[in-house]
Amino acid sequence: MKFAQKRSWKPLIALLLLLGLVAVVETSCGDSGSDGESAGETAGLSADASAIAAARGLTPADISAALKTYTPSGVHDEYLMFASGGHSGQVYVIGMPSMRIIKKIAVFTPEPWQGYGYGAEGTMAVLEEGDPNGTDIRWGDTHHPALSETAGDYDGQFLFINDKANGRVAVISLKDFETKQLVKNPLALGDHGGTFVTPSTDWVIEGGQYGAPLGWEYASIDDYKTDYRGLVTIWKFDREAGRIDPSRSFAIELPPYWQDLCDSGKLVSEGWIFCNSFNTEMATGGVEDGNAPFEAGASQRDMDYLHVINLDKAAEVAAAGKTMDVKGFPVIPMATAVEEGLLHFIPEPKSPHGVDVTPDGKFMVVSGKLDPHVTIYSFEKIQAAIAAGGFETDDYGIPILDFDSVMEAQVEVGLGPLHTQFDNLGYAYTSLFLEPAVARWALGGDFADLHEEESWTLVHKTPVQYNVGHIAAAEGDTVSPDGRFLVSMNKWAIDRFANVGPLLPQNFQLLDIAEPGMNMPVLYDLPIPDGEPHYAQIIKADKLDPWEVYPEVGWNPHTGAIDENAVQLGEERVERNGNEVEIWMTSVRSHFTPEHVSIKQGDHVIWHITNVERAYDATHGFSIPFYNINLSIEPGEAVTFEFDAEQDGVFSYYCTEFCSALHLEMTGYLFVEP
Ligand code: RUQ
Ligand code: CUA
C-alpha cells in the first residue's frame, strides 16, 4: 500500500509509455491517494512494470529518477563529466545522466591498461618532465580539472588539472584523451587553487596553498613573515602547440597567507583573477611545543583576504621584465605588484574556501567555511573602489578595499558553505559541507528576471549523503550554464553502499535541477573507488570531437606527427649495430611481425612497434615479462621502448587486449642468449 499515498502518476505513465514499458493502458487512471489500490492499479502500469516496482520496493520518486537516468544500451550520454581522480593522480570521464564511468585518463600515475609509464617512450618522457630535480614522483593528488574555453565557453579541446601534493599542472588533449605534458612548478612543492583557465585559455592559473620559501629553499619557521611567501603562477598556454610554454609564463609573489581557490573573471571582468586565502593570521603551528594547532591558529580572524589581481596588467608588467628571477622563473615582486596597482585585497569571512564568478562576470561569490553566509561582491563596485583609492594596507603594503563598499549581498545558506555553481534559471548552488546539503539560492542583478524569487535569497536545500565538497553543474563554469543536472561530490559514503571494509568509496550524487523552485531531487548515487576526487567540470558531449583512430598509420601521439621510426607492413626488420639491437615491428590482427627476436644477454634493445590497424577499437597491447614492458598501441599509433637485456632466457611477448578470436595466438618469443 506504500504507493497508494503518492501524487499523480500521469506524468510518469507518459514517460513509461515513451519507453514502451506500459503494455496495457487503463483508460481511467485512479486518483492518487485512493485507498486500497496497489501501485500498479493506481498508476495504470502494466502488470509487469508494477510487479517489478513492487518487488523492488520502488517509490514513484525512484521510478521517476530511474527514468531520468536510465540510458539504454548503445545510447550515448548527453554530457561528459571530467572528474578529478584524487589521490589516484588520474582523471575520470563519466557519462551524464547515466553516471556510467566511461574512461580513466592516466595523468600523474603510471597506468598499465593505457601503457602509461611502462616503457612507451612518449609516456615515460611526460612523467619524467614532471619530476622535481629528477626525482621520480609517481602519483598526484589531482584537485581541479579545467576544460579549455573559447569566449568563456568550453570548447572541448583540452583539459588541465593540478597535482596539489607536488605542485604540478598537466595538459591533456581531448583529441585522444591522453596526457601530453606535466609542468613542475619551479617555485613551489605544492599548490591548490589550480587549475583555472581564462575565457580564451590564454592562461592557466595555478594558485598556491601553504606558505613556503619561493623556490623551495630551506628557511626557519621562525622567519615565517620574512622568508616564507604565497604565490600564484600564471602559465601561458600555446593552443597551437597544445602545450604550456614555461618560457612565457610568470608568477606573482604574495604574502605568506595560504592562497586557496581561484577563479577567472569573464565578460566584464575578463582579464582579472580572484584568489581567496586563509591563515592571514600567519599561524605557524607547532602544537607539540605548546603552540596553537594550525586549525585554531589559522582561524582566529573574522576576515581573510580575497586577492583581486589585474591579470592583463600583470602580464604587461612581466613582459616588461619588471620581475625578479627565482630558480630561472620570472616573479613579479609584491612591491612591484602594489606599485603597478595590479593587486588589491578585499576582506572575506570566515575561513574562506571557494570563490566563483557568476556567468555574467559581474559578481564574485565567496564562501567561508565558518560563516553560514555566502558573500557576493560586485565587480563594478570593486572597480569603483580601486579607482577611488585611499586604502588601508596589510603588513606587506597590499591595499585593502573597504568591505562594505564592494559587497553586494550576503545570503544565509547554511552550515559549512564551500563551493558555488550556476545554472540557466538564475540560481546559484552552494555546497554545505556540515549540513550536508546543496543549497539553491536566487541571484540578483540581471539574473533576477529569470526566476520568481526575491534576489539574493535562499530557495531550497536538498540533503546529500554525506559531507559534500565540490559541486559541478552542467557547463557550470561557463558564460552560459545549461542547468538541468548537478553532481554533488560527497566525501563520505557511510551507509550508501555495501560494506567493503573500513575504507569507503566517495559518493557522487546526481541532482535534478531542471525545475525552478523547491523540487531538486537526488537521482542517482555513483560510488567512486578512489580517494578523493575533488572537482569536476561537465561539458555537452557534442562539443567534443575526438579521433576514432590516429590520423595516419605511424602516428606518434606525443609529437602529433608521423614517427620517424613508424613501420609499414612489409618493412619489419631487426638490425644489429655492435651490442645495440633495433627492432621495427608491426601489429595487426592477429600477429606481430616478427614473431621471433633473438638477441644476446647484455644487448641494448630499441624496439619500435606500429599498430597498422585502421579499424575503430582495434587496439593491441604488447607486454614482455620480467622487463616491466607493457604498452597499449591504438590503431595507427607508433610506439618505441628501450631496455638493457640483462636477464637471459626465453620471454613470451603477447598482446594484452583481447582483440580477435585468435588473440591468444598474437604472441612471439624474445630469445636472450647467455
Ligand atoms: S578544494 S572541497 Cu581542493 Cu577544491 Cu574544496
Ligand atoms: Cu592483439 Cu590481442
**What are the tens digits of pLDDT across the range 197-217?**
999 999 999 999 999 999 999
b/e map 12-47, b = 16+ CB within 10 Å: bbebbeeeebbeeeeeeeeebeeeebbbbbbbbbbe
Range of lowest pLDDT (25-29, 556-560, 580-584): 25-29
Q: Is the pLDDT of residue 519 over 50?
A: yes
- Report the alpha-carbon distance of residue 19 to residue 33 in Å, rounded: 25
How far is ligand 1, taken at its centre, from the CA of residue 438, in Å?
Answer: 15
Q: Report pLDDT for 575.
A: 98
From the CA of 590, the nearest ligand is 2
What string of DSSP letters covers 56-108? HT--HHHHHHHHHH---TTPPPSEEEEEE-GGG-EEEEEEETT--EEEEEESS
How far is ligand 1, taken at its centre, from the CA of residue 168, in Å?
Answer: 16
From the CA of 354, the nearest ligand is 1
Topology alike, domains 190-362+373-412 and 559-673 = no
How far is ligand 2, taken at its centre, from the CA of residue 102, in Å?
Answer: 21
**Per-residue pLDDT averaged across 354-380, rounded?**
97
- Asked whether 663 lines ligand 2 (CB < 6 A), one says yes
Nearest atom in ligand 2 to 589's CA: 1
Give the three cell numbers for residue 663: 588473440
Cα 485 versus chain centre, distance:
17
Grid cell 606527427 is found at 561
**Per-residue pLDDT averaged across 458-477, rounded?**
98
Contact 614, 636 (CB under 8 A): yes
Give the three cell numbers for residue 521: 531531487
Nearest atom in ligand 2 to 620's CA: 1
Q: Report pLDDT for 44.
A: 58
Q: Report pLDDT for 92.
A: 98
pLDDT in tens, 155-190: 999 999 999 999 999 999 999 999 999 999 999 999
Q: Report pLDDT for 26.
A: 33
pLDDT in tens, 590-639: 999 999 999 999 999 999 999 999 999 999 999 999 999 999 999 999 99
**Per-residue pLDDT averaged across 501-525, rounded?**
98
From the CA of 535, the nearest ligand is 1
- Asked whether 633 lines ligand 2 (CB < 6 A), one says no
Q: Report pLDDT for 114.
A: 97
**Per-residue pLDDT averaged across 436-441, rounded?**
98
From the CA of 87, the nearest ligand is 1
Q: Is the pLDDT of residue 333 over 90?
A: yes
Q: Is the pLDDT of residue 54 over 50?
A: yes
- Report the alpha-carbon distance of residue 490 to residue 464 in Å, rounded: 8
Domain boundaries of the chain, sorted by first residue: 10-69, 190-362+373-412, 559-673
pLDDT band at 371 (very low <50, low <70, confident <90, very high): very high
Mutation probe of ligand 1 site: the residue of 262, 277, 367, 419 with most atoms within 8 A of C-beta: 419
How far is ligand 1, taken at its centre, from the CA of residue 621, in Å?
Answer: 37
The percentage of residues in the chain with a pLDDT greater than 90, rounded to a whole number, is 92
How far is ligand 2, taken at its centre, from the CA of residue 591, in Å?
Answer: 8
More confident of the two residues 65 and 40: 65
- Report the alpha-carbon distance of residue 430 to residue 515 in Å, rounded: 17
Mutation probe of ligand 1 site: the residue of 369, 431, 466, 534 with most atoms within 8 A of C-beta: 534
Q: Report pLDDT for 194.
A: 87
**Per-residue pLDDT averaged across 248-254, rounded?**
98
Grid cell 556510467 is found at 100
Nearest CA to ligand 2 atom 1: 620
- pTM for this predicted structure: 0.93
How far is ligand 1, taken at its centre, from the CA of residue 534, in Å?
Answer: 6
- Asked whether 657 lines ligand 2 (CB < 6 A), one says yes
Q: Report pLDDT for 43.
A: 53
What is 190-362+373-412's CATH number?
Answer: 2.130.10.10
- Report the alpha-carbon distance of residue 634 to residue 490 in Å, rounded: 35
- Asked whether 105 lines ligand 2 (CB < 6 A), one says no
Q: Which protein residues touch ligand 1 with a CB less than 6 Å away?
A: 143-144, 192, 261, 353, 418-419, 469-470, 534-535
By three-state DSSP, how is residue 388 classified? helix
- Asked whether 620 lines ligand 2 (CB < 6 A), one says yes
The percentage of residues in the chain with a pLDDT greater than 70, rounded to a whole number, is 93
**Per-residue pLDDT averaged across 112-128, rounded?**
98
Amino acid, res. 128: E
**559-673 belongs to which CATH class?**
mainly beta
- Calculate the average pLDDT of the chain: 93
pLDDT band at 531 (very low <50, low <70, confident <90, very high): confident
Q: CB-hemisphere CA count at 13 Å for 50? A: 21
Q: Report pLDDT for 273.
A: 98
